């Protein structure tokens, strides 16, 4: 099962490698990991997308909690939550593809943020599925580069992850 784990961690050098080292040492999957400081610069917020059986997910959250610099851990995918990912995708845009690319961007509510004679850079946010659909719709032949941020997640409504 796919899970989205959010955590608050002291914003100290080496903290990220403690988390990623934990995953590799214990053989847990990481699908994506994003991290950046919060409004309180002494803390970072991390979103980890992982897969595993219930037992493994239980161990992952326990092991994360055990890291001395980790302040809080929540599996936000256990209830209603929002996920977003940012993608920058550079596509070939010449001849008839140029209009087609523009049309696709509109359909997906993406934005073209850089234009040259031969290419566009398109910016798109959404959940993972939407981004995957966009990539599929464009097709690999026309894609020059894709850059994805990995997922950020937050619980809906009253559920707040804070110290």
Partner 1 sequence: MVLSGAEIVIRCLQEEKVEYVFGYPGGAVLFLYDALFNQDQVRHVLVRHEQAAVHAADGYARSTQSVGVALVTSGPGATNAVTGIATAYCDSVPMVIISGQVPTAAIGQDAFQEVDTVGITRPCVKHNFLVRDVKDIAPTIKKAFHLARTGRPGPVLVDIPKDVSMHKCEFSYPDKVEMRSYNPVVKGHQGQIRKAVQLLLEAKRPMIYTGGGVILSDAAEQLTKLTRLLGFPITNTLMGLGAYPASDRQYLGMPGMHGTYEANMSMHFCDVLLAIGARFDDRVIGNPDHFAEEPRKIIHVDIDPSSISKRVKVDLPIVGNVRDVLDEMISQIEAANARPNQEALGAWWKQVEEWRSRDCMKFKNSDEIIKPQYVVQKLWEVTGGDAFVTSDVGQHQMWAAQYYRFDKPRRWLNSGGLGTMGVGLPYAMGAQLAHPDAQVACVTGEASIQMCIQELSTCKQFRLPIKICNLNNRYLGMVRQWQQLFHGGRYSESYMDSLPDFAKLAESYGHVGIRVERPSDVEGALREAFSRKNDLVFLDFQVDQTENVYPMVQGGKGLTEMILSAEDL
Q: Is the dihedral of CA 84, 161, 38, 65 positive or negative?
A: negative
In the list 1, 36, 51, 58, the residue contacting partner 1 (rule: CB under 8 A) is 58
Cβ-contact 30, 23 below 8 angstroms: yes
Residue 14 lies near partner 1 (rule: CB under 8 A) = yes
Residue 65 lies near partner 1 (rule: CB under 8 A) = yes
Write down the residue that tokens 């804070």 correspond to.
162
Residue 37 lies near partner 1 (rule: CB under 8 A) = no
Candidate ranges 61-69, 86-94, 108-116, 150-158; the one touching partner 1 (CB under 8 A):
61-69
Residue 33 lies near partner 1 (rule: CB under 8 A) = no
For residues 9 and 46, which CB has a smaller minimum distance to partner 1 in the complex? 9
Q: Would you tell me which residues interact with partner 1 (CB under 8 A)?
A: 9-10, 13-14, 17-18, 21, 25, 55, 58-59, 62-63, 65-66, 68-71, 163
């Amino acid at each position: 099962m796919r899970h989205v784990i959010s955590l608050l961690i002291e914003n100290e050098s080496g903290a990220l490698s403690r988390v990623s080292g934990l995953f590799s040492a214990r053989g847990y999957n990481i699908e994506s990991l994003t991290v950046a400081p919060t409004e309180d610069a002494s803390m970072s917020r991390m979103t980890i997308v992982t897969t595993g059986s219930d037992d493994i997910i239980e161990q992952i959250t326990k092991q994360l909690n055990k890291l001395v610099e980790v302040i809080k851990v929540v599996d936000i995918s256990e209830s209603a939550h929002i996920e977003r990912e940012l993608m920058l995708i550079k596509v070939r845009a010449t001849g008839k593809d140029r209009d087609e690319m523009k049309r696709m961007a509109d359909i997906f509510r993406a934005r073209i943020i850089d234009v040259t004679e031969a290419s566009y850079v398109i910016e798109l946010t959404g959940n993972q599925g939407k981004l995957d659909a966009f990539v599929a719709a464009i097709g690999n032949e026309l894609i020059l580069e894709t850059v994805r941020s990995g997922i950020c997640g937050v619980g809906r409504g009253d559920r707040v992850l804070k110290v």
